[in-house]
């Protein structure tokens, strides 16, 4: 028997960090457009002649990306099985780059701009599904939550960098003010495309299509052990056992995501509901329209500076999530985040409604109470975004990446991501119109959703910390109550090891069979 090497996760961590760069594309595009909406040259080219963009034009420009992301999130389910996880990342990164090139080359056509945003959205939406899928399948279970949080960290970092660049370029008196930050997205797309040269395919996908030799090589690479190390055979045996059990039902279709088999319907609904609740937490309202919204708060700070502060707070908030996701766990993080964000939303909403001056009031005419109200609103907006970044920002993506068996994983993750994007689209399209009518009271809508989110998580979301993807299957099938799930222990993998050991013993001779049977 080969001497067992000491596995390390360095290679898996490096690859997960690189793939999570797909989140950077998403975050950067969200942030960069919010600054462009109030840049003078951008308003002149794509407005209707007034000094500011109308709410209808703002919502169209902003929401067309989200419309594309919805299509892309579903589209990757077809490419990830046909071309593999690695091939899918490269295909959609190329599509994203084409979309950003179209946006950057726009002169004054709002139609061309929105078409470019839609095409870029196809790539962003696909990335939102394939990144959790890939990292969920390649990450060691002890680090899976942390590595999946990297996706959210990259989203937030992308938002922050876009705010910094908007701040740096918004005073340029020509189209470079918005072309430079928008055009840089082509570079981000090319960076992701460079993965063609070193990204391995998912070992679970390789085993699922019968390419066992390649799967063994990838598992050895991810764990930094020799190809003949016992760890490689153990992982392959476990995965094949689970895959064979999954494939007993024949060809998979979209409706199977909602079947009673292995409680797939419950897992799919949970994944979709978490994404739905996440989008209505309220944070994206600040990300998309914060520049415009904070103008009405009467602060003396530039809206670009406030957005940059929000971006920095988001980055700082996501860092502790890398630790809390594996210590507090998924369930406790969501419950805590619901409470903290709800408190921020109700305070900011009520203070803003009762104290802010009417829209358009010159700063010199603001009363001391109106100034204080604006400061309170901004302070709790910052705390709201900070709380989101720790809890509700990363956890739904982690849950989505680790809740489904290989058999339906691309389709189930696609449904969750598509849910995220359809609500992202609705939020970006309608929230600025609603805010124009009810002002800060729009935050009360988000408060109600956060209360609902707390109740939903408590009743329906189990703890998946520390479980392999196959053990998550077992927990759902066992019918474990969500509030008891943190203390539940799996058993299926022990049975798999026993069956593999017995099969190996029978193949080597009667004496070994008796010896193995006595041990098990």
Taking alpha carbons only, the member of 447, 431, 120, 112 closest to residue 292 is: 431
pTM for the full predicted model: 0.75
List, in order, residues 6 or more apart from 319 with CB less than 8 Å away: 153
Q: How many residues does the chain have?
A: 520
Measured CA to CA, the distance from residue 204 to residue 409 in angstroms comes to 11
pLDDT tens for the chain, 520 residues long, are: 455 555 566 788 888 888 888 889 888 887 888 888 888 899 999 988 777 788 788 888 888 888 898 899 889 888 988 888 888 988 999 999 999 999 999 988 999 999 999 999 999 889 888 888 888 778 776 677 777 788 878 888 998 999 899 889 988 999 999 999 999 999 999 998 888 778 888 888 888 888 888 988 988 888 778 888 888 888 888 788 777 776 666 667 888 899 888 889 999 999 999 999 999 998 877 766 666 666 666 666 777 887 788 889 888 988 888 888 888 989 999 999 999 999 999 998 898 888 877 766 777 777 788 778 878 888 888 899 999 999 998 899 888 888 888 778 888 988 998 898 889 888 877 887 887 788 788 889 999 999 999 999 999 999 988 888 778 888 988 889 999 988 888 875 555 556 555 655 565 555 544 444 444 4
Q: What's the pLDDT score for residue 1?
A: 46
Taking alpha carbons only, the member of 14, 66, 85 closest to residue 413 is: 85
Q: Which two tokens stand for residue 138?
A: 């390649």
Measured CA to CA, the distance from residue 476 to residue 246 in angstroms comes to 14
CA dist 196 to 69, 90, 212, Å? 23, 7, 21
Q: What's the pLDDT score for residue 501?
A: 58
Q: Is residue 400 packed enough to be buried (19+ CB in 10 Å), middle (13-18) or exposed (0-12)?
A: buried
Is the CA virtual torsion 271, 276, 277, 279 positive or negative? positive
| Contact status, residue 461 vs residue 273, Cβ threshold 8 Å | no
Q: Is residue 320 packed enough to be buried (19+ CB in 10 Å), middle (13-18) or exposed (0-12)?
A: middle
Q: What's the pLDDT score for residue 517?
A: 47
Measured CA to CA, the distance from residue 469 to residue 402 in angstroms comes to 6
Q: What's the pLDDT score for residue 437?
A: 83
Q: What's the pLDDT score for residue 433?
A: 80
| Other Cβ atoms closer than 10 A to 359 | 11
| Contact status, residue 124 vs residue 185, Cβ threshold 8 Å | no
Q: What's the pLDDT score for residue 267?
A: 94
């Amino acid at each position: 028997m080969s001497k067992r090497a000491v596995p390390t996760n360095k290679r898996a961590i490096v690859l997960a960090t690189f793939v999570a760069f797909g989140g950077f594309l998403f975050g950067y595009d969200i942030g960069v457009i919010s600054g462009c909406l109030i840049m003078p040259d951008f308003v002149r080219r794509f407005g209707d002649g007034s000094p500011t963009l109308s709410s209808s034009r703002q919502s169209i420009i902003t929401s067309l990306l989200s419309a594309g992301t919805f299509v892309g999130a579903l589209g990757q389910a077809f490419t990830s099985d046909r071309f593999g996880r690695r091939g899918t990342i490269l295909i959609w990164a190329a599509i994203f780059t084409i979309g950003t090139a179209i946006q950057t080359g726009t002169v004054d056509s709002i139609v061309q701009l929105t078409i470019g945003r839609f095409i870029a959205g196809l790539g962003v939406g696909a990335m939102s599904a394939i990144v959790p899928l890939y990292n969920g399948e390649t990450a060691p279970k002890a680090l899976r939550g942390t590595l999946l949080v990297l996706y959210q960290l990259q989203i937030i970092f992308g938002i922050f960098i876009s705010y910094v660049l908007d701040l740096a370029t918004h005073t340029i008196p020509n189209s470079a003010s918005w072309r430079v930050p928008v055009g840089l997205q082509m570079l981000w797309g090319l960076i992701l495309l460079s993965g063609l040269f070193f990204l391995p395919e998912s070992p679970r996908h390789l085993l699922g299509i019968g390419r066992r030799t390649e799967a063994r090589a990838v598992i050895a690479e991810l764990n930094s052990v020799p190809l003949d190390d016992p760890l490689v055979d153990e992982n392959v045996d476990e995965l094949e056992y689970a895959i064979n059990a999954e494939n007993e039902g024949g060809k998979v279709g979209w409706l199977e995501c909602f079947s009673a088999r292995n409680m797939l319907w419950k897992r799919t609904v949970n994944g979709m509901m978490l994404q739905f609740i996440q989008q209505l937490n309220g944070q994206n309202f600040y990300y998309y329209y914060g520049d415009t919204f904070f103008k009405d708060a009467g602060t003396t700070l530039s809206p670009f500076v406030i957005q940059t502060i929000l971006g920095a707070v988001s980055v700082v908030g996501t860092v502790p999530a890398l630790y809390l996701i594996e210590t507090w766990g998924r369930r406790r993080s969501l419950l805590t985040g619901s409470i903290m964000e709800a408190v921020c939303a109700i305070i900011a909403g009520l203070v803003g409604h009762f104290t802010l001056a009417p829209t358009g009031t010159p700063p010199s005419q603001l009363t001391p109470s109106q100034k204080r109200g604006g400061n309170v609103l901004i302070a709790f907006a910052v705390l709201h975004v900070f709380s989101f970044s720790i809890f509700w920002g990363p956890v739904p993506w982690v849950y989505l990446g680790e809740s489904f068996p290989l058999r339906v994983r691309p389709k189930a993750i696609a449904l969750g991501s598509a849910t995220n994007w359809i609500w992202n689209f609705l939020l970006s399209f309608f929230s600025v119109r609603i805010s124009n009518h009810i002002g800060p009271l729009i935050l009360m809508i988000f408060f109600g959703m956060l209360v609902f989110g707390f109740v939903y998580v408590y009743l329906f979301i189990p703890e998946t910390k520390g479980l392999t993807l196959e053990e998550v299957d077992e927990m759902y099938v066992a019918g474990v109550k969500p509030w008891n799930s943190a203390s539940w222990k799996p058993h299926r993998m022990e049975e798999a090891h026993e069956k593999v050991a017995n099969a190996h013993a029978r193949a080597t001779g009667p004496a070994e069979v008796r010896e193995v049977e006595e041990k098990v």
